[in-house]
């Protein structure tokens, strides 16, 4: 799912009041907060919501992405805090989460909007290494009944779809499996097996953090043993 960027200029963004100064606050995303716009009016789609933000939202609210049945539009950089979680200036919802609004306009296809949202959230989970238990409904932060439709028995289904989308993306970078090793590469593989760094499987797997740990721990242990012997 391509995310179209239509970033709100700084002078149109709602700002936080910190010690009497109105400021834009930086953010390191740790959570993703899911909303529904709750606006069923005809035409209240992602385009309309992005323009609402672009023109300076009078409601002093801002969010990172709006998604409908056709597209996803980004309004704020992910490294900037929005104002969407209702948990105040120091709340983790506002200060540590990417806000995603799902459109519920009556002339749109809500099911397709959900699928598009799951794809976008899957991408964000991967990009920022956000685990599924940190994908939360707006309600989690402030008690507000949002996202209203999803909270009527479909929340877990939605999170599962986000996890599935993330999984698809992660498999996508892991496709070069059947490639053969050259003789020199085979030597390296054998040496790595001898040293206990790897079991030798999946030599072309894209390295992720777990595999780095897995490879590093036996090495560190061997160094420890050697150091003991030298004493």
Binding site for Zn ion (CB under 5 A): 35, 138, 146
Cβ proximity to Zn ion, 64 vs 138, nearer residue = 138
| Closest approach of Zn ion to the CB of residue 8, in Å | 18
CB of 37 vs Zn ion, minimal distance in Å: 8
Is the link from the previous residue into 147 a cis peptide, with omega within 30 of 0?
yes
Of 138 and 161, CB closest to Zn ion? 138
Encode 50-88: b = buried (16+ Cβ within 10 Å), e = exposed: bebbeeebeeebbbbbbbbbebbbbbbeeebbbbbbbbe
In 3D, which of 99, 129, 113 has the Cα closest to residue 47? 113
**Minimum distance from residue 65 beta carbon to Zn ion (Å):** 13
The answer to whether the beta carbons of residues 198 and 215 sit under 8 Å apart is yes
Q: What are phi and psi of 48, to 5 degrees?
A: -65, -40
How many Cα atoms occupy the beta-carbon half-sphere of 134 within 13 Å?
Answer: 17
Q: Which is nearer to Zn ion, 13 or 138 (CB)?
A: 138
Compare residues 118 and 150 and give the one whose CB is closer to Zn ion. Answer: 150
Q: How far is the CB of 163 from Zn ion (least distance, A)?
A: 21
């Amino acid at each position: 799912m391509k995310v179209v960027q239509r970033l709100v200029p700084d002078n149109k963004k709602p700002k936080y009041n910190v010690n009497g100064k109105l400021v834009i606050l930086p953010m390191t995303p740790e959570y993703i907060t899911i909303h529904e716009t709750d606006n069923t009016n005809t035409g209240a789609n992602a385009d309309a919501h992005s323009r609402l933000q672009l023109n300076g939202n009078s409601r002093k609210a801002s969010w990172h992405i709006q998604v409908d049945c056709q597209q996803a539009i980004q309004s704020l950089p992910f490294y900037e805090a929005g104002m969407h979680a209702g948990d105040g200036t120091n709340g983790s919802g506002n200060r540590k989460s990417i806000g995603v609004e799902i459109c519920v306009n009556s002339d749109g296809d809500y099911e397709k909007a959900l699928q598009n949202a799951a794809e976008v959230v899957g991408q964000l989970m991967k990009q920022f290494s956000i685990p599924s238990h940190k994908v939360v409904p707006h309600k989690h932060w402030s008690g507000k009944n949002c996202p209203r439709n999803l909270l009527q028995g479909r929340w877990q289904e939605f999170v599962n779809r986000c996890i599935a989308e993330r999984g698809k993306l992660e498999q996508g970078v892991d496709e070069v499996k059947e490639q053969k090793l050259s003789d020199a590469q085979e030597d390296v593989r054998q040496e790595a097996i001898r040293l206990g760094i790897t079991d030798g499987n999946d030599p072309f797997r894209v390295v992720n953090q777990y595999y780095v740990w897995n490879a590093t721990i036996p090495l560190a242990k061997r160094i420890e043993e050697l150091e003991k012997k030298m004493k």
